[in-house]
Amino acid sequence: MKNYRVAVIPGDGIGIEVIEAGLAVLDAAAKAVPGFALEITRFDWGSDYYRRHGRMMPADGVETLRGFDAIYFGAVGDPEIADHVTLWGLRLAICQGLDQYANVRPASIVAGVASPLRDVFPGDLDLVILRENSEGEYAGAGGRVHRGLGTEVGIETAVFTRTGVARIMRFAFDFAEKRPRRRLTLVTKSNAQGHGMVLWDTVYAEIAESFPTVETERLLVDAAAARMVADPHSFDVVVATNLHADILSDLAAALAGGLGLAPSANLDPERRNPSMFEPVHGSAFDIAGTGIANPIGAIRSAAMMLDHLGAWNAARAIENAVDRVLAEDRVRTPDIGGTATTPEVTAAICRALAEG
């Protein structure tokens, strides 16, 4: 029996609801596929914690998390608190503090879910976007001067280091090499940004020499967005900067049926620190507490967590159960055309797990 210590941070809004759904599915998976157990520790960090303490998590929060095998995260954001305060105070603080530099966002159309694209069906869109998670425009470099004056200036500096670019490139090539199609697309904007983006192009070409079996191509981000809509099948694995991949992965999720279905992982590939797993969607306060949040993104993220931890059979079982429930087209939340509640979808996936 393998035991894993998991830190659970539901966060804000629907994050609380979908994480509870994910935990229920994880419990069902442990019963259906013996061989592992999860020791869950919950943390009430988030916007309500901020209201009580003036910060999103304790000063030693990142250090506290180092003692866990993985982190299961819900969502962050509150309409009453500035977004940069909530994001930098919790999610980005964890990602950067634990050097989770590789963000993995798969997107695929599954049976029973309609894409908004015409004549695009399961198998036509099946890609993974790899996002550099520690540098770029989200590095936190910059500032504001002359605040409140007509001459006020805001500077946001994109930071790219050879070390940071090289490690996400190696991760991306290794990831693509394990996929059946072995195709890796680099997305930049190096025609207009001739320093940092050209560094990405240069390092990509250098590392490609060590992976002769991986087919490579380079696209500008605007061309990539257009082609993702016009020809999604042409993509297999995409690697891009923090900002570009953030935008493209939301586009890919929407094309695959909606953000509510999309999982993600924030990895420290060297496993020096715990990695964090979360649905792509935000806190969605407009539907929080109504019981209609789609839990599948969080449930799929739980499967990614088990896969990372080594409970591969349980991870596959969860993915199969989700696919079966979606394919049957009887129990689904309103965002993908149904009328079911979050607990009803969760219960259906738990039943599918129990039935094998």
For this structure, is 178 an active site residue? no
Number of neighbouring beta carbons within 10 Å of residue 53: 12
For this structure, is 189 an active site residue? yes
Residue in 78, 126, 246, 335 annotated catalytic: 246
If you write DSSP's letter for every residue of 85-119 in order, what string do you get? HHIIIIIHHHHHHTT--EEEEEEE--TT---SSTT
- C-alpha 33/C-alpha 353 separation (Å) is 9
Task: Report residue 259 as tokens.
Answer: 């953000």
φ/ψ of 268, rounded to 5, equals -100, 95
- C-alpha 197/C-alpha 208 separation (Å) is 17
Going by C-beta distance under 8 Å and a sequence separation of 6 or more, which residues neighbour residue 269?
101, 102, 167, 171
Residue in 124, 174, 250, 323 annotated catalytic: 250
For this structure, is 138 an active site residue? yes
Residue in 2, 44, 83, 222 annotated catalytic: 222
Residue in 12, 189, 204, 236 annotated catalytic: 189
Residue in 4, 101, 138, 204 annotated catalytic: 138
For this structure, is 99 an active site residue? no
- C-alpha 96/C-alpha 321 separation (Å) is 33
Q: What residues act catalytically?
A: 138, 189, 222, 246, 250
